[in-house]
């Protein structure tokens, strides 16, 4: 049944086991219609136990062609099964199929939603059916109505849609406000090498307040502002943490260079100035820190700033940056921990990192 439902909405996913297990009935083979003999068996089962779901599951499974699947009798059986077994996913799936084949797409999507709320092994196939309905312009509005109420499965649906539909405006609209959905859209676009579109999506998903106070890099005061990565601060939890009132507390230890905090940002080409406010405790010969900026696809930084001498009182460090003109529309900003000659942990508190343009590039 699930195979037929997904095929009807355009799915070409892998076939599933034709044996369907209802949560309140035994496992029954639904691959062949009931014979006259099996019909008598069903009747005997019903007379022996009229409140059992088994005979009605058998009746539902005995009609599986398109014409038979949407007969009034089959709907009555499915609705009766739902009355005696309210948590029957099989009844919900049957009604979803009947509604879909009858053109009642609103009813079909709601039945699928009820079945998903019940959970179970059929959830993955049901989500596949909704994915195909979301891709189809005719059935998409009915999926949108469900997404608007933010059911618990909506994030998973958005994540499944992202690989094929991340560039679609309707998916951006659905994902906005859903952290997992937003991240899935941005990640899918990055995997498709659409960093420009991924950045646009990131900006779209920001709250109006965050968008109005946009800085370069984003969240210049390390307040842990929400947003889709990698355009927000990604920190190593073992070496960094956001302070309650803003700022990033970091530590540098070990014998290798370690990335502590990083972010992808967008700086205009030409001259800019980095303004960093930080304090810390770094001993001579011990572990320290280094700021670096790379062009997005480069492994070699075009700017570095060692932080090997820090005071316990906050100090402002300002230094000019020359952002390359070619192949550097987006950049990676990174704070790294540097090993020292002696195993002494370095600590710091970064309160601000903001980069501002000094002059326009001649190309703009």
- CA-wise closest residue to 323 among 298, 340, 346, 342: 298
Query: What is the C-alpha to C-alpha distance for residues 273 and 102, in angstroms, rounded to an integer?
Result: 64
Strands 331-338 and 288-295: antiparallel
User: Do the Cβ atoms of 325 and 363 come closer than 8 Å?
Assistant: yes
- Full 3-state SS string of 119-177: CCCCHHHHHHHHHHHHHCCCCHHHHHHHHHCCCCCHHHHHHHHHHHHCCCHHHHHHHCC
pTM for the model stands at 0.77
The pair of structure tokens assigned to 164 is: 């094929």
Query: What is the C-alpha to C-alpha distance for residues 2 and 69, in angstroms, rounded to an integer?
Result: 12
- CA-wise closest residue to 220 among 201, 245, 195, 246: 246
Question: Tens-of-pLDDT digits for all 364 residues of the chain?
Answer: 555 555 555 443 333 333 333 434 333 334 444 455 555 655 665 665 565 555 556 666 665 545 555 566 678 877 777 887 788 888 888 888 888 888 899 999 999 998 898 887 888 889 998 999 999 999 999 999 999 988 889 999 999 999 999 999 999 999 999 999 999 999 999 999 999 999 999 999 999 988 888 999 999 999 999 999 999 999 999 999 999 999 999 999 989 999 999 999 999 999 999 999 999 999 888 999 999 999 999 999 999 999 988 889 999 999 999 999 999 999 999 999 999 888 899 999 999 999 999 865 444 4
Give the number of other Cβ atoms within 10 Å of residue 149's Cβ. Answer: 8
Query: What is the C-alpha to C-alpha distance for residues 346 and 286, in angstroms, rounded to an integer?
Result: 7
Query: What is the C-alpha to C-alpha distance for residues 51 and 80, in angstroms, rounded to an integer?
Result: 10
Find the Cα–Cα–Cα–Cα dihedral 230, 232, 234, 235, rounded to 10°.
170
User: Do the Cβ atoms of 133 and 6 come closer than 8 Å?
Assistant: no
- CA-wise closest residue to 97 among 60, 136, 144: 60
Find the Cα–Cα–Cα–Cα dihedral 8, 11, 15, 18, rounded to 10°.
-30
């Amino acid at each position: 049944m699930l195979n037929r439902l997904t095929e009807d909405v355009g799915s070409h996913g892998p076939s599933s086991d034709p044996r369907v297990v209802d949560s309140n009935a035994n496992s029954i083979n639904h691959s062949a219609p009931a014979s006259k003999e099996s019909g008598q068996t069903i009747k005997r089962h019903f007379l022996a136990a009229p409140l059992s779901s088994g005979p009605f599951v058998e009746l539902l499974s005995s009609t599986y062609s398109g014409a038979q699947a949407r007969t009034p009798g089959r709907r009555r059986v499915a609705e009766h099964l739902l009355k005696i077994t309210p948590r029957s996913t099989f009844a919900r799936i049957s009604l979803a199929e009947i509604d879909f084949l009858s053109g009642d797409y609103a009813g079909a999507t709601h039945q699928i939603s009820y079945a998903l709320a019940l959970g179970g092994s059929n959830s993955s196939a049901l989500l596949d059916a909704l994915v195909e309905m979301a891709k189809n312009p005719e059935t998409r509005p009915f999926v949108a109505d469900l997404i608007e109420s933010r059911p618990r499965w909506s994030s998973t649906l958005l994540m499944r849609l992202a690989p094929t539909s991340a560039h679609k405006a309707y998916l951006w609209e659905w994902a906005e406000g859903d952290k997992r959905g937003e991240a899935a859209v941005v990640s899918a676009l990055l995997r498709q090498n659409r960093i420009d579109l991924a950045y646009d999506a990131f900006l779209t998903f920001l709250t109006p307040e965050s968008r109005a106070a946009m800085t370069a890099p984003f969240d210049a005061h390390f307040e842990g502002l929400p947003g889709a990565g990698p355009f927000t601060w990604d920190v190593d939890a073992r070496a960094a943490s956001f302070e309650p009132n803003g700022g990033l507390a970091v530590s540098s230890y070990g014998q290798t260079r370690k990335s502590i905090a990083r972010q992808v940002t967008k700086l205009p080409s030409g001259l800019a100035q980095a303004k960093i406010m930080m304090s810390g405790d770094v001993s001579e010969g011990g572990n320290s820190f280094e700021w670096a900026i790379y062009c997005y696809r480069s492994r070699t930084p075009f700017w570095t700033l060692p932080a090997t001498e820090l005071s316990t009182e906050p100090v402002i460090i300002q230094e000019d940056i020359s952002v390359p003109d070619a192949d550097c529309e987006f950049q990676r900003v990174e704070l790294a921990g540097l090993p020292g000659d002696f195993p002494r942990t370095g600590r710091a508190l970064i309160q601000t990192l903001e980069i501002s343009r000094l002059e326009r590039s001649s190309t703009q």
